[in-house]
Structure 1
């Protein structure tokens, strides 16, 4: 098969991007959904609720693959939040439950590359109050919508320790494509990390967006809150 694009020397080259311009960096904005909203992380507003939500875990296993934590005191945790809140990259957001109005988790947009339209979601730390809930999926959808439809990025990345089976499963459920393993990519907490790479690109986003919208719709949940169709099934049915 001949390449789609070639230069005057007959060499294959990448798809032209006429009119491409660098994108804006993510801002400290709020994003409203049905189950939750994302707000710029503010320790004074979200800190106590986050501390209490994370404390509901029977053991601190959720921090194992995070760059920070677990914390040996409330002071250390609030210092971490204060540092995170001052950062523009990563840009941290709190996930606020729509019913209680309390923060139940955080996530961030990081490794921002506006010139190339590439950005990563990371620092995903969801408490037991948020894990495996519609709000957890909606939080991811809200951030993806912001990146693709508002900021106009071309590539949205997810990276994790290759040994973090839960994170890898979550990425695949959300529609990210596995791209491979970067061996000995990082050192954190005094140990090696081989990094698993996943991504969604802009041409894939419309179908994913449709699947998320279908999954999050009221008619996809029973009166007990159980999903009728899985996100994978909604993705398969998307046009």
Structure 2
């Protein structure tokens, strides 16, 4: 059966995005430990001991919902430094979301993230012919909100009491880039990488 999003490896100068597998378990656990990312209450980074269950859930989302989880590899060192994913795939309306993104502390706010987003967006708009790509984050995750805005995504709105995690309501901030905005966003991301 053909799917809209087939497994793909995306490579650049700073980053390589490869289809996630159970073989990435140890490396993803080590990446999450850099900064103890699972302690950020508004994110969904796995504790090292729960990394396998987290990977299994990502792969189940791939198999049942058409998502595509990636392991993020630092192209300079070859180290796995995080994860990202295409998900909330709506093939009929050619929409998808980029998310479940996290990086080891040592590579946050580097060219690696900018290039990863450039690769993901280029594939979405130019290979998959997506008409819109969404990004969502917790209202309290100010670092993520600022990073999404720096990409050139526009805020669509806030979904109040959108989800419940551990008895706490989550307000979700929704951003998107639409097909007609992609050329300007692409130019902006390339400019940032050259800087």
- TM-score normalised by the chain length of structure 1: 0.74
Unaligned runs of 5+ in 1: 1-23, 221-239
Unaligned runs of 5+ in 2: none
Q: In the TM superposition, what is the alpha-carbon distance from 1:59 to its structure 2 partner?
A: 6.3
C-alpha distance in 2 between matches for 1:129 and 1:85: 26
Of 48, 53, 64, the residue aligned with 1:79 is 53
Partner in structure 2 of residue 117 of structure 1? 94
Cα distance change of structure 1 residues 107 and 58 upon mapping to structure 2, 3 Å threshold = closer
C-alpha distance in 2 between matches for 1:40 and 1:95: 9
Of 121, 127, 139, the residue aligned with 1:144 is 121
1:16-53, Cα deviation, whole Å (9 max, x unpaired): xxxxxxxx622211001110110001121x22222112
Q: In the alignment, does 2:150 pair up with 1:173?
A: yes
C-alpha distance in 2 between matches for 1:208 and 1:142: 12
| Pairs aligned (count) | 190
Partner in structure 2 of residue 164 of structure 1? 141
Structure with higher RCO (Cα < 8 A, 6+ apart): 2
Partner in structure 2 of residue 52 of structure 1? 30
Higher strand share: 2
- SS for the counterpart of 2:107 is coil
Higher helix share: 2
Partner in structure 2 of residue 195 of structure 1? 172
Q: Is the 2:139–2:170 Cα contact (8 Å) retained in structure 1?
A: yes
Q: In the alignment, does 2:35 pair up with 1:61?
A: no
Cα distance change of structure 1 residues 35 and 193 upon mapping to structure 2, 3 Å threshold = same
- TM-score normalised by the chain length of structure 2: 0.90
Larger Rg: 1
- SS for the counterpart of 2:137 is strand
Q: In the TM superposition, what is the alpha-carbon distance from 1:200 to its structure 2 partner?
A: 0.4
How large is the RMSD of aligned CA atoms in angstroms? Answer: 1.7
Partner in structure 1 of residue 130 of structure 2? 153
- SS for the counterpart of 2:156 is strand
Cα distance change of structure 1 residues 189 and 26 upon mapping to structure 2, 3 Å threshold = farther
- Give the 5 Å matches for 1:196-235: 196-217=173-194, 220=195
Q: In the TM superposition, what is the alpha-carbon distance from 1:159 to its structure 2 partner?
A: 1.0
- SS for the counterpart of 1:163 is coil
Partner in structure 2 of residue 42 of structure 1? 21
